[in-house]
Chain A
Amino acid sequence: GQQLNQSPQSMFIQEGEDVSMNCTSSSIFNTWLWYKQEPGEGPVLLIALYKAGELTSNGRLTAQFGITRKDSFLNISASIPSDVGIYFCAGLEWETSYDKVIFGPGTSLSVIP
């Protein structure tokens, strides 16, 4: 079946540093999604990407949909302590009238003040 891989698995960075994380897939998706999950809560959708090559920003977050449609990256600029959490990528396929969403294993981000 479809599998997503995320790298790195975990990151420890100093406040103010920029962060970059990747997501790759064994198959093509037509939509890429990035989520953030904080302890004790459900994931929150941050960015959705719909076209190969698309670059989208949401505040300090920037994400790109890879040209091959098998990868995506998420960048966070000037990290702050509240950026701490687990970041999940997800691929979405429109299959026979429904949206099937497959999640990656996540990248855990720790920000040292």
Chain B
Amino acid sequence: GAGVSQSPSNKVTEKGKDVELRCDPISGHTALYWYRQSLGQGLEFLIYFQGNSAPDKSGLPSDRFSAERTGGSVSTLTIQRTQQEDSAVYLCASSTRTSGAYEQYFGPGTRLTVT
């Protein structure tokens, strides 16, 4: 079946503008993660959704960042009043456990450039 998809693949925005990044997880996966990856760096955890539980927002770097997950499926990451330091690749992943085995799949990412 289809993997994790993200849109847009690239986004260039002016400093101070708001942006919305979308993630479509794999159907049936109850867990969804957002990560941020700066050039040449590792993955920085941002936020995690699991079913109907309250999300773990502990990785969000500031109150300009927020995320929603509607109907337990599609998620939107919103960055308000973007800053140049927000420039990075934003990766979404969904996961499930099958007979106890953990499976996590990443989308291709959205490359955000703030000018």
Contact = CB atoms under 8 A, between A and B. Distances in A.
Interface of A: 31, 33, 40-45, 48, 50, 88, 92, 97-106
A99 B106 contact: no
Contacts of B97: 99
A93 to B, nearest CB: 11
B100 to A, nearest CB: 8
A42 B93 contact: yes
Given A42-B108, A105-B42, 20 more contacts: A33-B104, A41-B108, A42-B4, A42-B91, A42-B93, A42-B106, A48-B102, A50-B100, A88-B43, A92-B102, A97-B53, A98-B48, A99-B102, A100-B45, A101-B33, A101-B95, A102-B45, A103-B42, A103-B45, A105-B41
Contacts of B105: 45
Interface string B98-115: 001111111111000000
Interface of B: 4, 31, 33, 35, 41-43, 45, 48, 50, 53, 56, 91, 93, 95, 97, 100-109
Please classify the interface of chain B as helix (H, G, I), strand (E, B), loop, or mixed, using the class held by over half of its residues: strand
28 contacts: A33-B102, A33-B104, A40-B108, A41-B106, A42-B91, A42-B93, A42-B106, A43-B43, A43-B106, A44-B106, A50-B100, A88-B42, A88-B43, A92-B102, A97-B53, A98-B31, A98-B50, A99-B31, A99-B95, A99-B97, A99-B102, A100-B48, A101-B33, A101-B45, A101-B95, A103-B42, A104-B42, A106-B42
